[in-house]
């Protein structure tokens, strides 16, 4: 019955999609002249489109020369401003070319919807003047972003705690890492805040407060084995990251062998972010099929949306020993009627050394029968082969990982699930 309902919902989703595409086609015909003009322009070389005038209330300027020199061009459909109505997340695909290296695909992000970006300006104005509109550049100098000026030696926890998920409970070690690896400065490598120019310092703080995704990618880079997309650079309120591949969602009905491999990789990501040699626990607070992508050549799973990542310093927790710091924490299963639900306490994530949150998030929202997305159900590992379904082990491990029946059952189930998926993956290769 559940499968029947999911199929009906899937069909409804397709019908709605076709209706939207039909309306869009009609609009394209009616606006042919303006559309041709849009296709001929390279808006990525225009300061206004990049919102460069907002700086230093922006994400950075390290890639401005590449943008303004015309080395980046939006892909055909991305040039049509008519489609911005559907592009709520303000994510664009573009071609980036170097003279001797050819071109490659990159992803451009504004790091927020049009309304969210407008809210940034409003918040800055209200903090500085009490009014919703003002001279943004003048207002910046009357906010907390300007108070951390060149006389301030270090970025400290008391100055930025709670600004965003990334620094909900920051340690000095984490903040030193953020400053030292900040990519929007020519003189990176120093953890001293005062070594940054005033504009660079302001950009770092603005990014930290409103959308810290670029700082996550810079501080935990893919080049060092972290499972995030590679950060390339920024210009104004546009960030460039490496294109990974199709979203995980596009593999929902892939062959069983492929889905098993992807599931194993997802559980390995959960383990890496929870337990690593750096003693930073990176907890994923937003887990859904469109927050991961798969490389077309190597088949590697990568996190492509890192806005909602909370970083807890296990070394600091052991040092401070808050109440129940050494008691294992089990996340509570959330059987809600919405997609990609998660139940968690940021305060507890910040105060415990042993936490099962990442295993819970991956199992509940991506792998198990509890996972729902775009009208489907059953999770990535739906409809296993008959012998595996009859054996029952996979279903039991997924259920215990998502909604444990035993105390600390998720920890053991996650460990066994990783091993079992690795075994299945090796068997089918």
SS3 string, 368-424, reads CCCCEECCEECCCCCCCCHHHHHHCHHHHHHHHHHCCCCCCHHHHHHHHHHHHHHHH
Which ranges of 198-307 does DSSP label H, i.e. alpha helix?
A: 198-210, 213-219, 256-274
- For residue 177, is pLDDT > 80? yes
pLDDT tens across 274-307, in order? 999 999 999 999 999 999 999 999 999 999 999 9
- For residue 174, is pLDDT > 90? yes
DSSP state of 327: S
Q: Which residues contact 206 (CB under 8 A, 6 or more apart)?
A: 56, 57, 58, 59, 120, 145
Pairwise CA distance, residues 398 & 368, whole Å: 5
Percentage of the chain beyond pLDDT 70 is 87
Which ranges of 255-333 does DSSP label H, i.e. alpha helix?
A: 256-274, 314-320
95 in helix, strand or coil?
Answer: strand
- For residue 78, is pLDDT > 60? no
Specify burial of residue 1 (Cβ count, 10 A radius: 0-12, 13-18, 19+).
Answer: exposed
Mean pLDDT of the 39-63 span = 90
Segment 4-10 long-range contacts (CB within 8 Å, at least 24 positions apart) = 5/377, 6/375, 6/376, 6/377, 6/378, 9/375, 9/376, 10/374, 10/375, 10/376
pLDDT tens across 83-103, in order? 554 556 889 999 998 877 788
Pairwise CA distance, residues 391 & 414, whole Å: 18
Residue-level pLDDT at 7 = 38
- For residue 352, is pLDDT > 90? yes
- The model scores a pTM over 0.85: yes
Residue-level pLDDT at 227 = 98
| In contact, 48 and 111? CB cutoff 8 Å | no
- Closest-CA residue to 319 (of 292, 279, 290): 279
Quote the mean pLDDT of the chain.
88
Residue-level pLDDT at 425 = 84
Mean pLDDT of the 242-259 span = 96
Residue-level pLDDT at 83 = 52
Residue-level pLDDT at 148 = 82
Regarding predicted confidence, which is higher, 258 or 75? Answer: 258
Highest mean pLDDT among 54-58, 140-144, 311-315: 311-315
- For residue 3, is pLDDT > 60? no
Query: Which of the four pLDDT bands, split at 50, 70 and 90, describes residue 18?
Result: low
CB neighbourhood size of 251 (10 A): 21
How far CA 77 is from CA of 18, 74, 180, 238, in Å, comes to 17, 8, 38, 18
Residue-level pLDDT at 79 = 47
Residue-level pLDDT at 9 = 45
- For residue 15, is pLDDT > 70? no
Q: Which residues contact 325 (CB under 8 A, 6 or more apart)?
A: 317, 318, 351, 352, 353
Pairwise CA distance, residues 118 & 43, whole Å: 20
Residue-level pLDDT at 52 = 95
| In contact, 37 and 412? CB cutoff 8 Å | no
Pairwise CA distance, residues 234 & 52, whole Å: 10
Residue-level pLDDT at 115 = 92
Q: Residue 347 is inside which H or E element, if any?
A: helix 346-349
Residue-level pLDDT at 429 = 43
Length of the chain measured in residues: 429
The tokens for 124 are 């800055």
* Strand duo 246-247 + 292-294: pairing: antiparallel
Pairwise CA distance, residues 60 & 104, whole Å: 22
- For residue 254, is pLDDT > 90? yes
C-alpha triplet 77, 80, 81: angle, nearest 5°: 140
How far CA 260 is from CA of 62, 332, 383, 396, in Å, comes to 40, 26, 12, 16
Cis preceding-peptide flag for 56 (omega within 30 of 0): yes
pLDDT tens across 377-415, in order? 899 999 999 999 999 999 999 999 999 999 999 999 999
- For residue 138, is pLDDT > 90? no
Backbone angles phi, psi at 92, to 5 degrees: -125, 155
Pairwise CA distance, residues 299 & 400, whole Å: 27
- For residue 336, is pLDDT > 80? no
Pairwise CA distance, residues 120 & 99, whole Å: 37
Residue-level pLDDT at 29 = 56
């Amino acid at each position: 019955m559940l499968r029947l309902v999911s199929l009906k919902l899937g069909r409804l989703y397709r019908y709605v999609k076709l209706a939207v595409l039909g309306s869009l086609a009609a609009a394209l015909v009616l606006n042919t002249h303006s559309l041709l003009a849009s296709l001929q322009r390279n808006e990525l070389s225009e300061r206004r489109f990049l919102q460069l005038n907002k700086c230093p209330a922006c994400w950075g300027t390290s890639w401005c020369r590449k943008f303004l020199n015309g080395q980046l061009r939006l892909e055909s459909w991305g040039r049509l401003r008519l489609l911005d109505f559907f592009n709520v997340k303000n994510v664009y695909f573009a071609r980036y070319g170097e003279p001797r290296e050819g071109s490659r695909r990159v992803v451009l992000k504004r790091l927020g919807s049009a309304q969210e970006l407008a809210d940034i300006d409003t918040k800055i104005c209200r903090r500085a003047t009490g009014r919703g509109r003002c001279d943004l550049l003048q207002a910046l100098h009357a906010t907390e972003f300007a108070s951390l000026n060149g006389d301030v030696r270090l970025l400290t926890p008391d100055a930025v705690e709670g600004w965003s998920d990334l620094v909900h409970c920051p340690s000095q070690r984490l903040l030193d890492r953020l400053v030292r690896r900040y990519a929007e400065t020519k003189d990176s490598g120093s953890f001293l805040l005062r070594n940054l120019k005033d504009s660079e310092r302001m950009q770092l703080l603005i990014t930290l407060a409103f959308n810290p995704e670029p700082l996550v990618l810079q501080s935990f880079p893919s080049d060092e084995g972290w499972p995030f997309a590679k950060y390339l650079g920024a210009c104004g309120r546009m960030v460039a990251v490496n294109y990974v591949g199709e979203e995980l969602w596009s593999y929902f009905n892939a062959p069983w062998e492929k889905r098993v491999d992807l599931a194993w990789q997802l559980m390995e990501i959960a383990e890496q972010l929870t337990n690593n040699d750096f003693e930073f626990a990176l907890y994923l607070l937003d887990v859904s099929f469109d927050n991961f992508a798969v490389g077309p050549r190597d088949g590697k799973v990568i996190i492509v949306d890192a806005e909602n990542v909370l970083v807890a310093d296990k070394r600091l927790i052991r040092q401070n020993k808050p109440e129940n710091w050494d008691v294992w924490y089990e996340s509570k299963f959330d059987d809600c009627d919405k997609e990609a639900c998660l139940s968690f306490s940021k305060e507890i994530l910040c105060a415990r050394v042993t936490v099962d949150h990442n295993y819970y998030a991956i199992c509940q929202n991506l792998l198990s029968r509890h996972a729902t997305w775009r009208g489907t159900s059953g999770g990535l590992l739906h409809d296993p082969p008959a012998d595996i379904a009859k054996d029952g082990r996979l279903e039991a491990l997924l259920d215990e990982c998502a909604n444990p029946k035993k105390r600390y059952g998720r920890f053991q189930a996650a460990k066994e699930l990783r091993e079992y998926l690795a075994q299945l993956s090796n068997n089918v290769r």
